[in-house]
A and B are shown apart, each in its own frame.
Chain A
Amino acid sequence: EVQLVESGGDLVKPGGSLRLSCAASGFTLSDAWVTWVRQAPGKGLEWVGRIKSKASGGTMDYAAPVKGRFTISRDDSKNTLYLEMNSLKTEDTAVYYCSTGNCWGQGTLVTVSS
């Protein structure tokens, strides 16, 4: 079964850091373009960033609000994607989803608060 499972969400203070994981099963993550999407409480979806498949060069793109603070990486040996988040702000509070387009994880909650 094709599946994505996010983890790592937590309560963190403003200015802090956190690393989210997105573990894939049923397919090879490096063969897919994988996107991080977030949703603040009661708000709409926001595109955060994407890593292209290895065959497409494996490059990353980021939305303006997170560029320079968030980094997407991939561990092919673990079939897992990561979202490293630094200099967190209260407005980064959201449920974070990873998605290949045809598969979505269940999301993990990040709360940035003092």
Chain B
Amino acid sequence: QAVVTQEPSLTVSPGGTVTLTCGSSRGAVTSGHYPSWFQQKPGQAPKTLIYDTTKKHSWTPARFSGSLLGGKAALTLSGAQPEDEGDYYCLLSDGGVRVFGGGTKLTVL
């Protein structure tokens, strides 16, 4: 199965902008990989932020957006808030299965 790569950790200043990326060992990530993004805070279940590359749920803050960037899936956070600190995971389709990335620990500092 594909290996999905994410930045292990990133830091953003409050109010700042940061982009998390999600790459595949099989090559460029496309909309056909149906990229999804999840946020997880300590001791909590994950929460789905973005699905099908760019789609948001009703609870997804407007400051989060999904896209494809340079052959990778991307999650951009514009106007970071302290409550955005946590772990972020991407998920890609790989044939009939799905594969998570290793996660990015986002610090708002």
Query: Which residues in A have some Cβ–Cβ distance to B below 8 Å?
Result: 35, 37, 44-47, 50, 61-64, 97, 99, 101-102, 104-107
Contacts and interface: CB of A to CB of B under 8 A. Distances in A.
B102 A44 contact: yes
Interface stretch (B9-17, B20-28, B71-79, B92-100): B92-100
Q: Nearest 8 A-B pairs (CB), nearest first?
A: A44-B103, A61-B96, A104-B45, A47-B98, A45-B100, A45-B89, A44-B102, A61-B97
Contacts of A37: 46, 100
A29 to B, nearest CB: 17
Contacts of B51: 101
A81 B40 CA distance: 23
Interface in B30-70: 36, 38, 40, 45-48, 51, 57
A63 B36 CA distance: 17
B100 A104 contact: no
Nearest to A62: B97
Contacts, number: 48
Contacts of A104: 45-48
Contacts of B101: 44
A37 B87 CA distance: 16
Interface residues of B, number: 21
A101 B34 CA distance: 12
Majority secondary structure of chain B interface residues (helix, strand, loop or mixed): strand
Nearest to A103: B48
Nearest to B59: A102
B100 A44 contact: yes
Contact of A101 (B48, B96, B102): B48
A101 B89 CA distance: 13
Contacts of A102: 48, 57
A102 to B, nearest CB: 6
Nearest to B47: A104
A54 B96 CA distance: 17
